[in-house]
């Protein structure tokens, strides 16, 4: 669940991606559900800012909040996700760089404006996340 003291982020109880949502419904790990919710928030923000060609002040607050959480918690899931993103493609080639790290390390929401490489990292990250979810729900 995401929240901030200023109320800028809406509570997220379910992932936005329908396939991930169906897998996560069977998940018994609250910590992993937290990771999924924060990842989905970042993914949604990247797409919104890229398509909108601008980041609003609310986008910057949301990005800072979500990014801080992911920076603190990504290490818990990094090793489990790595073999899966290594099987995924970015820009038509097998991923050689961690798509999660690529996106988490972007310092401002405005930095996603015009960043096609960030958009290309999203499918590899989503595929890796779904594969890890399949492992956890099997």
DSSP per-residue string spanning 37-105: HHHHHHHHHHHHHHHHTS--HHHHHHHHHHHHHHHHHTHHHHHHHHHHHTTSEETTEE--S-HHHHHHT
Alpha-carbon gap, residue 18 to 24, rounded angstroms: 10
Does some domain include residue 71? Answer: yes
CA gap 119, 34 in Å, rounded: 22
> Has residue 106 been placed in a domain?
yes
| 33 domain-assigned | no
Domain tally, the chain: 1
Residue 126 lies in domain: 38-137
Is residue 47, in this structure, part of any structural domain at all? Answer: yes
Record the pTM: 0.82
**Which helix (H) or strand (E) is 22 found in, with range?**
helix 18-24
Is the pLDDT assigned to residue 8 strictly greater than 60?
no
Is 66 inside a domain boundary?
yes
Is residue 75 domain-resident?
yes
pLDDT tens, position by position, 19-44: 566 666 666 666 778 888 899 999 99
In a domain, 123, yes or no: yes
| Rg (the chain; Cα; Å) | 14
Which of the pair, 133 or 79, is modelled with greater confidence? 79
Residue 68 domain-assigned (yes or no): yes
Say yes or no to pLDDT of 3 above 50. no
What number is the average pLDDT over the span 97-126? 96
Rounded Cα distance, 30 and 124, in Å: 23
């Amino acid at each position: 669940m995401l929240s901030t003291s200023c109320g800028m982020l809406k509570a997220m109880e379910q992932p936005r991606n329908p396939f991930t949502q169906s897998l996560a419904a069977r998940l018994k790990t609250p910590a992993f559900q937290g990771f999924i919710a924060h990842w989905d928030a970042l993914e949604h923000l990247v797409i919104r800012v890229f398509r909108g060609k601008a980041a609003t002040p609310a986008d910057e607050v949301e990005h800072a909040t979500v990014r801080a959480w992911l920076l603190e918690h990504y290490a818990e899931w990094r090793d489990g996700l790595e073999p899966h993103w290594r099987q995924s493609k970015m820009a038509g080639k097998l991923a050689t760089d961690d798509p999660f790290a690529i996106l988490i390390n972007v310092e401002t929401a405005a930095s996603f404006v015009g960043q096609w490489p960030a958009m290309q990292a999203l499918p590899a990250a989503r595929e890796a996340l779904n594969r890890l979810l399949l492992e956890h729900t099997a």
